Each structure stands twice: as structure tokens, then as C-alpha cells.
Structure 1
Amino acid sequence: MATKLFLSHAHDEAEFALKFADWLEVAFSRSVEVICTSRPSHRIGSGHMVTTGIMKHLRDSKVALSLLTPHGVSNPWLFYEMGAAHALELVFIPCLARGSRFSDLPPQAWEYQGAELYSDADLAKFVRDLAHILKLECPKMIHAKAILGILSSEAV
């Protein structure tokens, strides 16, 4: 059974988040499943409370990742998901992409060691750290150039 990771992202960056989620699953040879509410299988359905759905997804996960772009750092759900991950004693990793920097994050997020995803070295360190946290074999950097292009490009 795959180890589950929760991927937080701004709603209007769903396509970007899905590409990152797919890349993570391939990089880890499908030994991880990325829970992303933009996937039909993980959506929070009509009539259900968003907070309840997020909590369920977080409880099912070992790690919470937050994909943060210049637009995403102002997402109010960041605080909810960060606090919920803390309450559940999950590892919470802010993943900075598309030009966002640690200095852009709200002060509440400064407590967490995040990952800047702008170079081969950044991406390799993030993958090594994630493999260590999850107690998985560190994968080879499959398709790193392709995902770096997506992580670095401005939103369309």
C-alpha cells in the first residue's frame, strides 16, 4: 500500500498541483499516493464540509506538503491546513515554487523548514528529505528537468 501525502494548493492552481503530484508519484515509483483535492478521487463532494474533508485527508497522510506560489502564499486555507497538520503531529513542508520565497510566507509559517524548488539541487534535497521522512528508498531524479520547468514557470 502506498504511503499517503497531502498536497495543499491554491484552488486556481489545480493543474499545476496535479502535475507536481503526478511527478512525485512517478519519482517514488508509486510507493507514495499524493492526496490532492483537485483529483476527482480526492475531491470534497457537494454537501460536505471542506474542513471535515481536509481533516480526513490529513489523518490519512504521513506528510502534508503545501505548494506555495506568489499567489498561494495568501491562501487563507494555508493557515487551517498548517494548524491541522501541527495538531495531528504531521510533518508539514512548505514547497516554494514559481518565484515565491520564504520571506513571502506569513510569519506563522516561518517555524517550518520548507523546500525551495528552483534547481536540480533544490529538488534533489527535497526528494532526499521526503524519502528520509517516509523511510523510503531515495528515488533517482526522474524527469527532474521537466518538473523544474513547471515549478519555475509563471502561472498562465
Structure 2
Amino acid sequence: MTDCTIDTTIVGKSAQGNFDCLEILNRITRTRKIVFDNENIILDEYTDCIERAKRSKKPGWEMMQGWITTLRNSNKMRTVYPNFSQNEEVELEKLRFDRTDWIFVKSCKASLNKELIAIESDYTPEIKDFLLKKHSIKVIHIDECIQNNLYQ
């Protein structure tokens, strides 16, 4: 089964009630495993987003909590052992790429499909081009998933 890496912003927006994001997550989960790092940094970020939404009484938090449970119970989590070389870190720093997003890029680099679904403006055209050329990572904006009916 193929896999996909999901930036925390997608999970956070889903937990806040963005049903387009939730629909994309459900579509992806039907056909792919979701990539997680071996140190649970991604899972912890997802859980924090869901907990914040719960405390704020946002409409999507229960669905996202159920989504995480479904991933666990249906063997839809792929654990990878992400890493960057020192040179790769220097290159990302030169691009001023947000360090909080490094775990997703590192995990995606270690994944099978090398697809990263994101919303954030941190993935500038320059960074997206670098990731594609240097690591074969394709960053796909959530709007592209929606507009092009990806992951059907």
C-alpha cells in the first residue's frame, strides 16, 4: 500500500471544522497509509491540534480523534525513520525553511510515495522546487487535492 505525509495544518483545520480538509484526509486514508516518524513528533502535533480544537469546542475535533483511532486500528500508519544530513540541513536553512516543518519533509523523504499534503505558505515555490529536485518530494497544496479530485 502506498503512503502520504500530511502536514499538521491539514489536521488542525479539519479539527476546527474545515470539511474540505477532512474529506481529503478520508480520501487519502481509503487508499494510502499515513506517514509518521518513529519518535511520534507528528502524532504529538496531530494530538495537540485536536486537543486545542476540543478545548475551543470546534466542530471537527471528534471526527479527527476518530480519524486517528481509525488509523491505529486499521493498520493505516506507516512509521519511518527520518533523517537529514548536515548538508541538507544547511541547504534548508539557506532557504529559510521553517524548522517546525522539517519533521514532515524528513518523514516524507523516508516514505514510499514522497507526497506531502500541505496548506502552509512555508512551502514557497522555491522550497517546493528544491524538495522535488533534491529529494523527489512532491508538495501538494490541499486546494489542488480538492480542485483536481485527487485521492478518489
| Shorter-normalised TM range | 0.3 to 0.5
TM-score using structure 2 length: 0.38
Using CA pairs under 8 Å that are at least 6 residues apart, name the structure with larger relative contact order, 1 or 2: 2
TM-score using structure 1 length: 0.37
